[in-house]
Amino acid sequence: MNFTVALGAARAKSRPGAGPGLLSRLVSKLGASGWRPWLAPLAALLVWEIGAHLPGVDARFLPSLEAVAVRGWRGFVHDDLFHHVLASLGRDLAGFVLGACAGVSAGLVLGFSPLAQRALGPTLMTYRQISLFAWIPLVSMWFGGNEAGKIAFIAMAAFQPTLVNSWRGVAEVPKSYRELSNVLLFGRLGFVWLIALPCALPQIFTGLHSALICAWAGTVGAELLFNIAPGIGGQMNEGQQLFQMDRLLLCILLLGGVGLLFNLLARAAERRLLRWRTL
């Protein structure tokens, strides 16, 4: 018990610039959660806002921030924008789960089995070189341009980073740990459960994290390029056809916001599950 207390004290001590004042405490708190990444997007918003109000700028091409906000308010309160966001999220989740499960499984098999690695490694390396978008015609032929095709495409987006990272994570378990496993007579199963998987977990998480982002990007791609359906991408298609810039910009802001949320969630999960690394 007093150990945890001591630890907390040590950590508090090691935090730099934790002054007594409220302001400095706030600054250090923001610093701990990283305020720097917010600087660039805020600056971009500011430039946008100033630009929109410059004389001679056509509001139809560059609507102001408040116009977009009004559009958002109306969309969520009076319209069914919320359902579109949910539709995109559902699609994204389905594709992510499918692709990530397949990717992690395939990566683990490759990492653990030298035979599989020799047989499939080069093929998968080649697959990595092919742009995701090159598959669109094929995927839409195989799975159709509707829900199945979209989800298949999103799954492909999530597959690749999970595959590569879990493969590498398992393959890169240090030799010294293999030696330890031999000395302690762990056997193959013990090695996998007690050493290889936990050792590879940070890397597997890195893969899942980037798969989350890739899948979200893939969701928008699929919604824009496959058949039109409810979703943020569908909204963008509509906005483009009706020449509603504020609607397009709103969708872009929504995409960014959701991506940001995913990032935060993934990082929080990572911190929790890999507590032993950051202690």
Tell me the per-residue interface mask from 47 to 86 with another protein, x by CB under 8 A, - otherwise.
----------------------------------------
Shortest gap between Cβ of 195 and another protein (angstroms)? 7
Residue 102 or 199 having the CB closest to another protein? 199
Q: How far is the CB of 177 from another protein (least distance, A)?
A: 7
Task: Select 131 or 278, whichever has its Cβ closest to another protein.
Answer: 278
Contact set for another protein, span 5-44 (CB under 8 A): 7
CB of 200 to another protein, least distance (A): 11
| 184 scored as a contact of another protein (CB under 8 A) | yes
Give the shortest CB-180-to-another protein separation in angstroms. 5
Using the rule CB under 8 A, which residue among 5, 134, 183, 242 binds another protein? 183
* Minimal distance, residue 201 CB to another protein, in Å: 8
Chain residues 185-204 in contact with another protein, contact rule CB under 8 A: 185-186, 190, 194-195, 198-199, 201
In angstroms, the Cα distances linking 171 to 58, 63, 196, 206 are 56, 51, 9, 15
Query: By the 8 A CB rule, do 219 and 238 touch?
Result: no
Residue 264 identity (one-letter amino acid):
L
CB atoms within 10 A of CB 115: 10
Q: Nearest distance from residue 270's CB to another protein, in Å?
A: 14
Of the two residues 60 and 271, which places its CB atom closer to another protein in the complex? Answer: 271
What's the 3-state SS for the chain?
CHHHHHHHHHHHHHCCCCCCCHHHHHHHHHHHHCCHHHHHHHHHHHHHHHHHHCCCCCCCCCCCHHHHHHHHHHHHHCCCHHHHHHHHHHHHHHHHHHHHHHHHHHHHHHHHCHHHHHHHHHHHHHHHHCCHHHHHHHHHHHHCCCHHHHHHHHHHHHHHHHHHHHHHHHHCCCHHHHHHHHHCCCHHHHHHHHHHHHHHHHHHHHHHHHHHHHHHHHHHHHHHHCCCCCCHHHHHHHHHHCCCHHHHHHHHHHHHHHHHHHHHHHHHHHHHHCHHHHC
The residues in 150-179 that bind another protein, with binding defined as CB under 8 A, are: 176-177, 179
- Interface segment toward another protein; rule CB under 8 A; list 62-70, 184-192, 207-215, 245-253: 184-192
Q: Provide the token pair at 91.
A: 């699609």
Which parts of 260-279 interact with another protein (CB under 8 A)? 275-277, 279
- Which one, 80 or 179, has the nearer CB to another protein? 179
Judged by beta carbon, residue 15 or residue 83, the one nearer another protein is 15
Q: Which residues bind another protein (CB under 8 A)?
A: 3, 7, 176-177, 179-180, 182-186, 190, 194-195, 198-199, 201, 275-277, 279
